Amino acid sequence: MHRKLPPLPPLTLRRSSSSSSAAAAAASPPPPPPRRLPPPVPLRDLLAHRLPPTPTPDRPPLSRPHPHADVLLRGRRPGCDASPESLHLEIVKRGLTHDLFLANHLVNSYAKGARLDAARGVFDGMPSRNAVSWTCLISGHVLSGLPEDAFPLFRAMLREGPGCRPTSFTFGSVLRACQDSGPDRLGFAVQVHGLVSKTEFTSNTTVCNALISMYGSCSVGPPILAQRVFDTTPVRDLITWNALMSVYAKKGDAICTFTLFRAMQYDDSGIELRPTEHTFGSLITATYLSSCSLGLLDQLFVRVLKSGCSSDLYVGSALVSAFARHGMLDEAKDIYLGLKERNAVTLNGLIAGLVKQQHGEAAAEIFMGARDSAAVNVDTYVVLLSAIAEFSTAEQGLRKGREVHAHVLRAGHIYRKIAVSNGLVNMYAKCGAIDKACRVFQLMEARDRISWNTIITALDQNGYCEAAMMNYCLMRQNSIGPSNFAAISGLSSCAGLGLLAAGQQLHCDAVKWGLYLDTSVSNALVKMYGECGRMSECWEIFNSMSAHDVVSWNSIMGVMASSQAPITESVQVFSNMMKSGLVPNKVTFVNFLAALTPLSVLELGKQIHSVMLKHGVTEDNAVDNALMSCYAKSGDVDSCERLFSRMSGRRDAISWNSMISGYIYNGHLQEAMDCVWLMMHSEQMMDHCTFSIVLNACASVAALERGMEMHAFGLRSHLESDVVVESALVDMYSKCGRIDYASKVFHSMSQKNEFSWNSMISGYARHGLGRKALEIFEEMQESGESPDHVTFVSVLSACSHAGLVEGGLDYFELMEDYGILPRIEHYSCVIDLLGRAGELDKIQEYMKRMPMKPNTLIWRTVLVACQQSKHRAKIDLGTEASRMLLELEPQNPVNYVLASKFHAAIGRWEDTAKARAAMKGAAVKKEAGRSWVTLTDGVHTFIAGDRSHPNTKEIYEKLNFLIQKIRNAGYVPLTEYVLHDLEEENKEELLRYHSEKLAVAFVLTRSSSGGPIRIMKNLRVCGDCHTAFRYISQIVGRQIILRDSIRFHHFKDGKCSCGDYW
């Protein structure tokens, strides 16, 4: 039965109780007390002095053994305990703790076994130390994966003096520590190289080999320094050649690797340089890290088979990785299965190759077959977790990812191994389980820069922009500098949130840490400033970039599309990109088409389509969808239909929505509804975007029946509880004249957003129910929902139509409490409010308060307000407004019409004629007034004096009958609304056959029921028709609901819902 060894005392001198120990103590002087390590000193200070030459000690005869060698030999006897603890105990028992040779042996034994605390205890207790002592301790820290701890030990060794001068093994260990630390320790490594050059080891082959490997790992870019050391090495052995070949191989430079291999074979130094497994390992690595052809790998494989190294574990692992990464998965699996011995490198190489070829499922199967073997290590989990994102579906990947997570838990790696935790965070994020990714991140015991990069990127890519920015700030608070990945994700989050100030702070971080030199970071800066509306900064960054890639051009074109930049600028940017030699990709064309779409440039769209075909960018849904939108906005519905037909079998929701939008944009509502019906009977389910598009179209033309059909579709599709669909229903019903239906849908909503509240408020305002609109606004405030600028436009409009002047001005001032700066549309509502109330004196006061110059919207509102007054001051204001409108927008026919109405209202017929002549001279045409009604047999449209309808005779007879009836009831035509200087009889004739009167007469010829008559008009209803409709509603006993371009008018029993205040 083995007994547990007692704790070992520190290795110090003390008097022994045994006689032998006492005799030994009497025979030799007492050793000096143990010394502590001197304080560290900068290495550069030591480089200023050349080290003294190493004293050459008198070597004892080889036949003379160490006097205490039996202590070491005892542990090698059969049945004896050979552990460092047993040896340590034996040394203490014999009183040999002062022996330098035995102490060095103990330090070396403990260090090699990763028992660094015990090694340091022995080292600190040594009365004297030599170079071997220090080298053993330094080497132990390097072998144990603690290279940073080796550097202060090396500095302290240099302070010890000539007796502890570094040897070739010391320099080899320190250089290996620099190699393991990577580029961050390149400066220290260069200083060590300078120290080597002052010793006789400058031509030592072992040290030169270590320098080559170190420079290969620490240098970024071509291994110039490693090649320089190789060239100056006087004696090159096989390790020298292998070291430089390994450096070039890891850099992916197959040409230099194989050139070195050829030079090694023809070397005439007299040293046998036969290729070993390390040689072939480097050559194989070079083939899969570079763009070499498979033919070179096949030739090398034949050479390996002839050399007999194919069964070597190192070579076999490299072959597995090479064939797998080249896509030759069957060959890789055959080599893997043919190896007698496999380790973690072999398994990881196969899994990494499968991952690179996007065979995530196959990689998971390989892992499951080897998960219980000793070959699985931390790198295996990291590589495998990256494969989960390559699964065909996110759900399947998440299920397999949970299995791997469970295995990690059982293996005890979780939360302690940072790389594994980082892989788990990335895996869950790629599978859409961002909550689980955050949970793993929170449970990590330690986090590195990669951890923060991963969680910030995960949050940003999953739409949690605020959380991404919060974690970026936490990372900076933890004194961790940002990387380019963190900066890119942070800037993307700022762009998504529109946080200009935060984005500028990240810009400062990028400059401070030198990240702005990275092209990807500059691309993110361009996008951020573009999303925040700062085009000047976008161009400044874009023009300052030293090099542009495809993403750079895509970013600037995307920004220009979103900012609606002039089409000539977009074309110029696209042309410059083509001239630079870069090949545009699908994102390039999507962004460029987005810039063309709002401008309806058909010919240019066709040219871009030709360029796309030339570059083979076809058969892609994103591109075809963008093309459909471009053709639709250009009026080419036939091209849209051809594209849509060609996409059969690969249409997605955006494809259907683009086609439906194209029909609606070009006025083909019936075809749009047919497309909706086809979509419902296809495998593609309608989403809330489809419903919103169609419902908005129904609202725009007041197609109530079609809107109700879509409502029924929504119920069958179980989308009736979607907040987007419900909000669109509220908007549709209110714009189609059914404010009661809109109110019912609104109050049945379990969840409301800003659009829901705004739709209901604007709906009531549009129907002249201003006080109800204000009640909804009060409910919105009580619910905790913050109003936005759109909300206040609706509230101010409600006050304007209801004549609530004081209340409207109070709500205008209330915007400041919500941090909302009034925009031009808010000032327009206030001016309209004051103009309707006749308080024109205050109009100029508010115009002076505006922080921006009045635009056409403001002047148009002022001109309409001035039509109601013939006061001299108001006439002057109206004249100025008319002049400004024609100066600012000379191509807008509405401005000429308003100017004509203003001059006609105040009796200036000459000015009215001048306005009409100016309109003709500017080659602009007034939009014709149209009214339409929707009956069971379709939509019937009328214009003033229209005689094209098949039922023209019945319509005119009915209208003349109605005019006679209402004249008898007291109606008098308001001839001041005729903009021509004619006789009164001629003016009455023009007023009689306005489009809305023809529409109401037509409905009365077709329907004798008592239901409401719904009429829509594209322009504002004239005052004469408004008065006539009041009389008609009373005579026929039916409600008339008229929607013009401004609002709804509900005529019933001789009264209008607007109270004649419109």
Q: Annotate 456-510 with DSSP letters as a single string.
A: HHHHHHTT-HHHHHHHHHHHHHTT----HHHHHHHHHHHHHHT-HHHHHHHHHHH
pLDDT given for residue 257 in this prediction: 87
Question: Is the predicted pLDDT of residue 871 greater than 80, yes or no?
Answer: no
Residue 970: predicted pLDDT: 92
62 pLDDT tier (thresholds 50, 70, 90) = very low
What phi, psi does 933 have (nearest 5°)? -130, 150
pLDDT digits (tens, 9 = 90+) for 205-232: 999 999 999 999 888 778 899 999 999 9
Residue tagged 């209008």 (tokens): 1056
What integer pLDDT is reported at residue 252 of this predicted model?
82
Please report the pLDDT score of residue 4 as a whole number: 37
**What percentage of residues in the chain have a pLDDT greater than 90?**
30
Query: Under DSSP, is residue 1055 helix (H, G, I), strand (E, B) or coil?
Result: strand
Average pLDDT over residues 965-992: 82
**What confidence score (pLDDT) does residue 65 get?**
52
CA atoms within 13 A on the CB side of 320: 26
- In this structure, of 227-231, 342-346, 611-615, 625-629, the range with the lowest mean pLDDT score is 342-346
Span of 228-232, 458-462, 667-671, 917-921 with lowest mean pLDDT: 917-921
pLDDT score, position 709: 87
C-alpha–C-alpha distance, residues 707 and 725, integer Å:
12
**Residue 83 CB neighbour total at 10 angstroms:** 13
What's the pLDDT band for 437 if we cut at 50, 70, 90?
very high
| Angstrom distances, CA of residue 503 to CA of 465, 468, 479, 499, 532 | 12, 13, 19, 6, 9
The per-residue pLDDT for 205 is 92
Higher-pLDDT residue of 847 and 901 is 847
pLDDT of residue 28 exceeding 50? no
Q: At what angle do helices 378-388 and 360-370 cross, to 10 degrees?
A: 150
pLDDT at 51: 43
d(CA 832, CA 713): 40
pTM to 2 decimals? Answer: 0.58
Q: Exposed/middle/buried for 79, CB within 10 Å: 0-12, 13-18, 19+?
A: exposed
What integer pLDDT is reported at residue 361 of this predicted model? 76
Q: What is the pLDDT of residue 43?
A: 40
Of residues 79 and 612, the one with the higher pLDDT is 612
Model confidence at 25, pLDDT cuts 50, 70, 90, reads: very low
Instruction: Residue 180: name the closest of 216, 209, 208 by CA.
Output: 216
Give yes or no for a contact between 387 and 364, defined as CB atoms under 8 angstroms apart. Answer: yes
pLDDT tens for residues 472-527? 999 999 888 888 999 999 999 999 888 899 999 999 999 988 888 899 999 999 99
- Cα–Cα distance between 239 and 224 in angstroms, integer? 19
Q: What is the mean pLDDT of residues 617-645?
A: 87
What mean pLDDT is reported for the chain? 82
Q: 340 or 150: which carries more pLDDT confidence?
A: 150
| Residue 699 pLDDT greater than 60, yes or no | yes
Region 287-300 average pLDDT: 72
Helices (H), 514-583: 519-531, 535-544, 550-562, 567-579
pLDDT of residue 896: 80
| Exposure on the CB side of residue 496, measured as CA atoms within 13 A | 17
Q: What is the pLDDT of residue 809?
A: 92
Residue 332, exposed/middle/buried by CB under 10 A (0-12, 13-18, 19+)? buried
CA dihedral sign of residues 325, 327, 331, 334: positive
| Highest-pLDDT range among 82-91, 166-175, 707-716 | 166-175
Residue with more model confidence, 917 or 292: 917
Q: Which of 231-240, 925-934, 945-954 has the lowest mean pLDDT?
A: 925-934
Separation between Cα atoms, residue 474 and residue 737, nearest integer Å: 53
Q: How confident is the model at residue 21 (pLDDT cuts 50, 70, 90)?
A: very low
Give the pLDDT confidence score for residue 11 in this predicted structure: 32
Q: How confident is the model at residue 876 (pLDDT cuts 50, 70, 90)?
A: confident
- Specify the 3-state DSSP secondary structure of 121: helix
| Rounded distance between C-alpha atoms, residue 1039 and residue 870, angstroms | 35
Cα–Cα distance for residue pair 114/142, rounded to 1 Å: 10
Q: pLDDT at position 870, please?
A: 56
311-320 pLDDT tens trace? 777 787 788 8
Residues 821-866 have pLDDT tens digits of 888 899 999 988 888 887 877 888 888 888 888 888 888 888 888 8
> Do residues 812 and 822 make contact, with C-beta atoms less than 8 angstroms apart?
yes
Report the amino acid identity of residue 575: S
pLDDT band at 16 (very low <50, low <70, confident <90, very high): very low
The pLDDT of residue 196: 92
pLDDT tops 50 at residue 61? no
Q: In what order do the strands lie in the sheet with 1048-1052?
A: 938-943, 930-935, 1013-1017, 1040-1043, 1048-1052, 1055-1056
- What's the rounded mean pLDDT across residues 255-273? 84
pLDDT computed for residue 950 by the predictor: 92
Q: What is the dihedral of CA 692, 695, 699, 704, to 10 degrees?
A: -160
Q: Which of 823, 835, 826, 819 is nearest to 794 (CA)?
A: 826
User: What is the percentage of the chain residues whose pLDDT exceeds 70?
Assistant: 88
Higher pLDDT among residues 707 and 926, named by residue: 707
